[in-house]
Amino acid sequence: MAASLRLRGAASGLWYWSRRPRPAADLAPLRGVLLCSRSMASKTPVGFIGLGNMGNPMAKNLMKHGYPLIIYDVFPDACKEFQEAGEQVVSSPADVAEKADRIITMLPTSINTVEVYSGVNGILKKVKKGSLLIDSSTIDPAVSKELAKEVEKMGAVFMDAPVSGGVGAARSGNLTFMVGGVEEEFAAAQELLGCMGSNVVYCGAVGTGQAAKICNNMLLAISMIGTAEAMNLGIRLGLDPKLLAKILNMSSGRCWSSDTYNPVPGVMDGVPSANNYQGGFGTTLMAKDLGLAQDSATSTKSPIILGSLAHQLYRMMCAKGYSKKDFSSVFQFLREEETF
């Protein structure tokens, strides 16, 4: 098992946990590999709500670490492989809360998250005192703070823990978690989050995890657009895209969008651009996250000139048929659109 390290910066008060990345493991059969030293029987069930592109592999990594799961997703088909693997599938978030005192939610939007927690069949209808509720959705920090207040009234604990790293990192268990909440609960959250991520960082009070994620995704959008523009320009100037990517990745223009998630088809394997931009992180979700950044910038009177332009571009992409494609399809959009 990979060595782990947990540190606290004396000056900054920053808690974080990290380990060296481990190679991606075969997920079939899901019950076949236990990576933790404690037996599965010694672990209480963990609730998991939201089995989309990210939630599915995250839940599988909890299983691989020996945690029995109580599963719910609004789309029943998303639960089938978990049910076939022996996990318990229930019919509502409230049922999850009734059967598990540690719950992770991974949902698309603030509206979805509020419904799962506070809706007519939401978690708060049956949550038990002392439960730990971890929301890994990317939502408005203000919504996280309001949910934390409602959860506290029920005698439970709420922490926001959005993620970064994409589907590939979710599959390999190498996500980065940005955690906001009561510091005394961080160790309990890290026990679960460390099964799904190689970096678990304590950011501060509830909402600070979301704040960090919003800043990260705004920068990601800007860098992806910049990479797409540079690659498109180079190709039109006669450069081979693989050669250009190689040069960028050994030069000062190197970034995650160029060396890990290149938006140009044929430059690298295993990324959405190699699969007609299917899977990955949807354009609609990126537009949503940029909207959160725009709202936060307005409320704090922070200028985000490039962030605002990125928001406009991704909204335009959604209106022109790219909403279901990965956000790296901005390269395809720039290649096909001649309206700029």
CATH number at residue 242: 1.10.1040.10
| Domain match, 216 and 201 both | no
Q: How far is CA 257 from CA 53, 76, 309, 324, in A?
A: 19, 34, 18, 19
The residue written with tokens 């693989």 in the block is 242
Q: Which residue among 182, 205, 228 closes a domain?
A: 205
What six digits make up the tokens of 223? 């860098």
**pTM of the model as a whole:** 0.84
| Domain match, 73 and 118 both | yes
Do the Cβ atoms of 131 and 186 come closer than 8 Å?
no
Ranges of residues in the chain whose predicted pLDDT is under 50 = 1-13, 20-41
Q: Please give the pLDDT value at position 105.
A: 99
Per-residue pLDDT tens digits for 245-303: 999 999 999 999 999 999 999 999 999 999 999 989 999 999 999 999 999 999 999 99
Q: Please give the pLDDT value at position 14.
A: 56
Do the Cβ atoms of 60 and 198 come closer than 8 Å?
no
Q: Please give the pLDDT value at position 1.
A: 38
Per the DSSP assignment, residues forming a β-bridge with 72 are 49
Do the Cβ atoms of 93 and 110 come closer than 8 Å?
no
For the annotated catalytic residues, the residue numbers are 213
Phi, psi of 178 (to 5 degrees): -110, 110
Ligand-binding annotation for 268, yes or no, is no
Ligand-binding annotation for 55, yes or no, is yes
Q: Which residue among 205, 239, 267 closes a domain?
A: 205
H or E segment and range at residue 160: strand 157-160
Q: Amino acid identity, residue 22?
A: R
| Domain match, 226 and 300 both | yes
Ligand-binding annotation for 40, yes or no, is no
Ligand-binding annotation for 133, yes or no, is no
| Domain match, 33 and 165 both | yes
| Domain match, 124 and 242 both | no
| Domain match, 81 and 145 both | yes
Q: Please give the pLDDT value at position 16.
A: 58
Q: Please give the pLDDT value at position 337.
A: 81
| Domain match, 308 and 257 both | yes
Number of domains composing the chain = 2
| Domain match, 141 and 277 both | no
Per-residue pLDDT tens digits for 52-65: 999 999 999 999 99
Number of neighbours of residue 276 by Cβ within 10 angstroms: 12
Spatial CA neighbour of 243 closest among 270, 266, 260: 266
Gap between the Cα atoms of 307 and 155, Å rounded: 39
Spatial CA neighbour of 84 closest among 71, 101, 95, 75: 71
Ligand-binding annotation for 68, yes or no, is yes
Q: Please give the pLDDT value at position 3.
A: 40
The percent helix, strand, coil of the chain (3-state, each to 5) is 45, 15, 40
Alpha helices in 237-338 (DSSP H): 241-248, 256-259, 283-300, 305-319, 330-336
Residues 6+ apart with CB under 8 A from 316: none
Range of the domain at 135: 4-205
Ligand-binding annotation for 58, yes or no, is yes
Q: Which residue among 181, 205, 229 closes a domain?
A: 205
Number of neighbours of residue 233 by Cβ within 10 angstroms: 12
| Domain match, 143 and 187 both | yes
| Domain match, 229 and 264 both | yes
| Domain match, 192 and 311 both | no
Q: How far apart are the first and last CA of the chain?
A: 52
| Domain match, 186 and 323 both | no
For residue 64, the domain's CATH number is: 3.40.50.720
Per the DSSP assignment, residues forming a β-bridge with 46 are 69
H or E segment and range at residue 147: helix 141-153
